[in-house]
Amino acid sequence: MKKEPIYILNKILHRLLLIVGLVLLGIMEIYAQRELGDCTIHYSVTYRDKDSVLVNAAKTVYIHGAQVRTDFSYANVNYLQTILQNNTTGNVNILKEIGANKYKTVLDSTDWRFKNALYQNATTILDNNDVTVILGYRCGKALQSLENGSQYHVYYTLDVVPSSKENKFQFKDIPGIILRYESLDASKADPIIINAKSINLMPISEHFFVVPTKGYRIINDF
């Protein structure tokens, strides 16, 4: 019995769709597990100050190969802190702009480790079974405890792996990219909540990581 042309056409289309689906699935799997050489993550930051006033701030992390830049600013306040890390050399520059005043602190790898000594003996428990979806990424949960009694509830995704960590000391035992964390100080009732609002995987220009040489007063604040 001769098959109708429409039957043959549907058969071909079905096979093509199946092939395309398998190819896309493979591409998505590779994409989900790849290392990110360039990544920009925007976070919101909320907490209550010592007078119980709700504070809103913003944090942006730029990752470009071995270089990491972290910007932190408050809403309605003329303040900006930028941390520039070179994970190849281990050097860190901390820039602060407070009104019209600009300050810079230059740290080598030993200084940076000393500044993060608080996290040296932190204990971390990972729970990949407690899955939360943030910005479309599957996130496991980690509980990090410090010797001073402070705790972090951290949500991290293993779907993508950054080429460098934002802070290899603070989150040294937590894999992947951190998309949310809550910092609960032993002396405070309300946590500081840092929550990712967007992720951009577009390439980042080198000029974001250039350390300024003029206009800043050099200080040591560690």
Same domain, 29 and 40: no
Same domain, 58 and 5: no
Same domain, 7 and 55: no
| Closest to 176 (Cα-Cα) out of 163, 194, 161, 154 | 161
Same domain, 134 and 212: yes
Same domain, 108 and 23: no
Give the domain CATH number at 122: 2.50.20.10
For the segment 22-38, what is each residue's pLDDT rounded down to a tens digit? 444 444 444 445 677 89
Between residues 215 and 8, the one the model is more confident about: 215
Are 185 and 47 spatial neighbours (Cβ–Cβ below 8 Å)?
no
Same domain, 132 and 153: yes
3-state secondary structure of 110: helix
Task: Round to whole Å and give the CA distance between 207 and 62.
Answer: 12
| Closest to 115 (Cα-Cα) out of 68, 174, 167, 166 | 167
Task: Using the CB atoms, write b or e for 87-123: b if 16+ within 10 Å.
Answer: beeebbbbbbbeeeeeebbebeeebbeeebeebeebe
Same domain, 111 and 25: no
The pLDDT assigned to 7 comes to: 52
The chain-wide mean pLDDT, for the chain, equals 84
| Residue range 77-89: mean pLDDT, rounded | 93
For the segment 149-202, what is each residue's pLDDT rounded down to a tens digit? 889 999 999 998 888 888 888 888 999 999 999 988 766 667 889 999 999 999
| Residue range 97-125: mean pLDDT, rounded | 93
Same domain, 79 and 167: yes
Structural domain including 16 reads: 1-33
Same domain, 192 and 83: yes
Same domain, 126 and 29: no
For the segment 10-24, what is each residue's pLDDT rounded down to a tens digit? 555 556 555 544 444
For the segment 209-221, what is each residue's pLDDT rounded down to a tens digit? 999 989 999 998 6
Give the global pTM. 0.80
Query: 148: pLDDT confidence band, cut at 50, 70 and 90?
Result: confident
Same domain, 42 and 23: no
Task: State how far Cα 137 lies from the chain centre.
Answer: 13
Q: How many domains does the chain have?
A: 2
